[in-house]
Amino acid sequence: MNAALDPHELADVVQAAMERWRVPGVAVGILHAGREHATGFGVTSLEQPRPVTPDTLFQIGSITKTFTATAVMRLVEQGRLALDTPVRAYLPELRLADEATAAALTLRHLLTHLGGFLGDYFADFGGGDDALARYVASLVELPQLTPLGALWSYNNAGFSLAGHVIEAVTGQPFETALRELVLAPLGMARASFWAAEVITESFAVGHLVDEQATAVARPWALPRSAHAAGGLIASVPELLRYARFHLGDGTTATGVRLLTAESVAQMQTPQTPADSRVDAWGLSWALTDAGGTRTVGHGGATHGQTALFTLAPARGFAVVLLTNASRGRELNGEVTAWALRRYLGASAPEPAPLTVPPEQLAAYAGRYTAVLDDAELTVEDGALVMRVISNGGFPLKDSPPVPSPPPTRLAFYAPDRVVALDPPLRGARADFIRAPDGRIAWFRTGGRLHRPV
């Protein structure tokens, strides 16, 4: 399938999703058959509305992690880092709650979310160049949830630690090193970590959406200690340039080689099984099969801004969605699935729900807790129902709870694996992880491990 890009059709799809999910602004870009199309819809802020254009800057959140990993791979090729050397070779002072983990932890563990320690930790250590060093020094306070390398669980703190490793071997602040290693060679001149630079540009403001209202999200910026995990701000055209690089052989548009083709491929090669949402995890990339078409991607969420970046390497295809609303995640998923289906004929089959008797569902009921939220599971009218209860803690460690989504029914589609049936979480997947004795040890939802209470 090689359908031509139709801007009017794309506009209809995006605008319908904006209305359905109450998203004020969207920027979208598609790379298909060598051609790019980028456009914007809606406004940057409900309080100070300006039109969103393709060049509007958005926070891209955790898509930043793939930039951090790209910088690591450049340093690996330069012989300054090694993926399987203990991090203590670069940071001898590293201390974690579990000494065995601190001694054996490697960059490969960090880039694949296998560190095992608590990952959602957003302490603010100020705006100075020592922010990451101070953050890493505080990691000793975080509990070790699982043994090193034993179980995949999304880990923001691990990428902040990787950012400090980059600082240690380059002798530069993380932001400077990333600009020299990745952003500048790719021609991403407007991409930035700094609100002081963005304020002179067209930029998006985040919004929190619940069932009653849509409100501007404050504060706007993440703390500097989170920059390596999710602090980059960029536009759609710049991300399409980045997409072309990771769809290619490691050279830039001007022919400068940043990585070998082997390193690009290694980043997109399965390194570990992940959760039920994806097939595997590469070096920072989520790897998924969409009905026979392999996709490589990453999402991002900051305080009221959400993004999704998806590549189909074998097809030379990319789609980028940047939104300024907490419900943008749903829009991103819908539009990306439509684009893959429309232009590549690629569509992953939806899981088929299984019939599970209520008496068996009761074994899964209970409260499961994590740092950012709890999940409360109950059996109601013969169905397992999940309520997500925000605990706060983002974008700052002491931030108050944010609006929680309405409850959703969960359906089993495989042993210990469930899919959400009701909007806005419809299609989200989660899994139960059992201990050797058969009891439920964890409920993994949103990529995070939730412990039974």
Average pLDDT, the chain: 96
For residue range 75-99, list pLDDT tens digits in order. Answer: 999 999 999 999 999 999 999 999 9
Instruction: Go through the domains of the chain in sequence order and give each one's CATH number.
Output: 1-349 (3.40.710.10), 358-452 (2.40.128.50)
- What is the spatial distance between Cα 59 and Cα 69, in angstroms, rounded to a whole number? 18
**What percent of the chain is modeled with pLDDT above 90?**
92
Beta strands in 6-110 (DSSP E): 25-32, 35-42, 58-59
- What is the spatial distance between Cα 179 and Cα 177, in angstroms, rounded to a whole number? 5
Residue 311 parent element (H or E): strand 306-312
The pair of structure tokens assigned to 186 is: 């790719």
For residue range 147-201, list pLDDT tens digits in order. Answer: 999 999 999 999 999 999 999 999 999 999 999 999 999 999 999 999 999 999 9
Which pLDDT belongs to residue 1? 53
**What percent of the chain is modeled with pLDDT above 70?**
99
Q: Is the pLDDT of residue 254 over 70?
A: yes
Nearest to 402 by CA among 325, 333, 331, 330: 325
For residue range 307-316, list pLDDT tens digits in order. Answer: 999 999 999 9
Which pLDDT belongs to residue 348? 84
- What is the spatial distance between Cα 192 and Cα 210, in angstroms, rounded to a whole number? 30
For residue range 342-377, list pLDDT tens digits in order. Answer: 999 999 888 999 999 989 999 999 999 999 999 999
Q: Is the pLDDT of residue 70 over 90?
A: yes
Which pLDDT belongs to residue 402? 84
Q: 65 and 159 in contact (C-beta within 8 Å)? A: yes
- What is the spatial distance between Cα 442 and Cα 439, in angstroms, rounded to a whole number? 9
The pair of structure tokens assigned to 90 is: 């670069």
- What is the spatial distance between Cα 217 and Cα 220, in angstroms, rounded to a whole number? 7
Which pLDDT belongs to residue 2? 58
Out of 26-35, 242-251, 402-411, which region has the weakest mean confidence (pLDDT)? 402-411
φ/ψ (deg, to 5) at 93:
-80, 0
Nearest to 193 by CA among 72, 57, 306, 73: 57
Rg (CA), the chain: 21
- What is the spatial distance between Cα 385 and Cα 383, in angstroms, rounded to a whole number? 6
CA distances from 116 to 98, 142, 398 (A): 10, 10, 23
Q: Is the pLDDT of residue 441 over 70?
A: yes
Q: Sign of torsion, CA 171 173 176 182?
A: positive
Q: In angstroms, how far is the first alpha carbon of the chain from the final one?
A: 49
